[in-house]
């Protein structure tokens, strides 16, 4: 594979996740609306929203600092990078040695750190409320995610996604219980981190229930567009991660040919759509939790991850 082609495919990967992200969010909204008996907005509505925000001027609070201004760019870049590092259609790419699961968690943590600080910059009560709750949720979700990673990594002896894909595809892996626990736990973490129901409601502006929206309340215009795009990317990140780690079938591992790439791309799109639909069904069938019930939800995810790690020894006895 020539270097030019490799770089080109890497750029395709970056462009792909960015272009698909609003579509996934649109699909999730549409599906949930239909399940709730509403017609819902068009699937392409998020693109229109982003375009509208980009066209508007940005209104900033008088006492906003430089941190407030650079935060959207940083958050967007960190999440775009993290999402693009998760393999979608092929695993061997120039940047794929950076696709280390723990490093990806670190990138997400950095993005969250910057955004939580930006929420506190103007000094309004809503910003502080959002940041405080976001950090509470993250402080439980991040260890749960790391435990899922431990489960995977102890089983396959690696934290690099391409190697995990090789391992999973390389031998018949049956209904491993640890994996099942890990999937459930990672899904719970993903739901919490992307601010879906029952943790947070992405559609709400009711003061006392919002988390993410409270944090970014002061943002407008292009800054808001970037943050919205970043949270759409985060949804793709989790769907893509679950797809590539637990169901990597179809992905290209060697030198790509056109047919293989087409199949891999089709498989990825199908997996993402399936994941989005499952998420919508889940969201439509559950009510939002009280904030302090979230700790129990994520504590459950954490303990499922721990149980998964422990069950490694049951599943693969010496």
Of residues 57-116, which lie at the interface with other proteins (CB under 8 A)?
Answer: 57-67, 73-74, 76-78, 80-81, 95, 97-98, 100, 102-103, 106-107, 109-110, 112-113, 116
Taking the complex as a whole, how short is the minimal distance between the CB of residue 122 and other proteins, in angstroms? 5
Taking the complex as a whole, how short is the minimal distance between the CB of residue 140 and other proteins, in angstroms? 7
**Binding to other proteins by residue 128, rule CB under 8 A?**
yes
- Give the x-and-dash track for 173-202 against other proteins (CB under 8 A): -xxxx--xx---------------------
**Binding to other proteins by residue 35, rule CB under 8 A?**
no
Number of residues that bind other proteins (CB under 8 A): 102
**Binding to other proteins by residue 12, rule CB under 8 A?**
no
Taking the complex as a whole, how short is the minimal distance between the CB of residue 273 and other proteins, in angstroms? 27
Q: Prior bond to 198 cis, omega within 30?
A: yes
For the chain, first and last CA: distance in Å?
41
CA-wise closest residue to 192 among 140, 237, 232: 140
Taking the complex as a whole, how short is the minimal distance between the CB of residue 170 and other proteins, in angstroms? 12
**Interacting residues of 276 by C-beta distance below 8 A, sequence separation 6+:** 24, 27, 28, 31, 239
**Interacting residues of 229 by C-beta distance below 8 A, sequence separation 6+:** 18, 21, 22, 50, 76
Q: Which is nearer to other proteins, 18 or 43 (CB)?
A: 18
Residues 267-306 that bind other proteins (CB under 8 A): 291-292, 295-296, 299-300, 302-306
The Cα-based distances of 193 to 105, 111, 189, 232, 309 in angstroms read 11, 12, 6, 12, 22
The Cα-based distances of 57 to 102, 136, 152, 220, 225 in angstroms read 38, 33, 46, 8, 11
Q: Which is nearer to other proteins, 27 or 218 (CB)?
A: 218
What tokens does 266 get? 């089709």
Quick check: 105 and 145 in contact, CB under 8 A?
yes
Which of 4, 125, 258, 259 binds other proteins (CB under 8 A)? It is 125
- What does the DSSP 8-state code read for residue 290? P
Residues 137-166 that bind other proteins (CB under 8 A): 138-143, 146-147, 150, 153-154, 157-160, 163
**Binding to other proteins by residue 241, rule CB under 8 A?**
no
**Binding to other proteins by residue 54, rule CB under 8 A?**
yes
Neighbours of 150 (CB within 10 A): 20
Taking the complex as a whole, how short is the minimal distance between the CB of residue 237 and other proteins, in angstroms? 14
Determine the Cα–Cα distance for residues 115 and 103; give it in Å rounded to an integer.
Answer: 18
């Amino acid at each position: 594979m020539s270097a030019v082609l490799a770089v080109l495919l890497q750029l395709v990967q970056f462009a792909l996740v960015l272009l698909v992200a609003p579509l996934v969010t649109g699909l999730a909204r549409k599906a949930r609306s239909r399940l709730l008996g509403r017609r819902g907005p068009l699937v392409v509505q998020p693109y229109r929203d982003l375009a509208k925000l980009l066209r508007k001027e940005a209104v900033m609070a008088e006492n906003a600092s430089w941190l407030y201004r650079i935060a959207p760019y940083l958050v967007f870049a960190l999440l775009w990078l993290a999402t693009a590092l998760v393999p979608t259609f092929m695993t061997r790419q120039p940047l794929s040695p950076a696709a280390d699961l723990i490093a990806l968690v670190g990138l997400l943590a950095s993005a969250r750190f910057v955004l939580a600080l930006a929420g506190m910059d103007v000094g309004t009560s809503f910003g502080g409320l959002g940041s405080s709750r976001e950090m509470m949720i993250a402080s439980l979700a991040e260890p749960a995610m790391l435990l899922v990673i431990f489960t995977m990594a102890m089983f396959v002896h690696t934290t690099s996604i391409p190697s995990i894909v090789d391992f999973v595809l390389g031998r018949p892996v049956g209904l491993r219980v640890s994996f099942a626990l890990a999937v459930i736990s990672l899904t719970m973490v993903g739901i919490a981190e992307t601010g879906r129901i029952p943790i947070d409601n992405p559609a709400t502006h009711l003061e006392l229930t919002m988390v993410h929206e409270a944090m970014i309340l002061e943002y407008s215009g292009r800054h808001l567009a970037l943050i919205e795009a970043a949270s759409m990317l985060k949804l793709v990140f989790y769907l893509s991660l679950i797809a590539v780690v637990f169901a990597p079938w179809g992905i290209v591992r060697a030198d790509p040919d056109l047919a293989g790439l087409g199949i891999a791309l089709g498989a990825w799109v199908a997996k993402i759509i399936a994941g989005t639909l499952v998420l919508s069904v889940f969201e439509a069938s559950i009510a939002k939790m009280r904030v302090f019930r979230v700790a129990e939800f994520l504590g459950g995810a954490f303990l499922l991850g721990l149980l998964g790690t422990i069950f490694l020894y049951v599943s693969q006895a010496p």
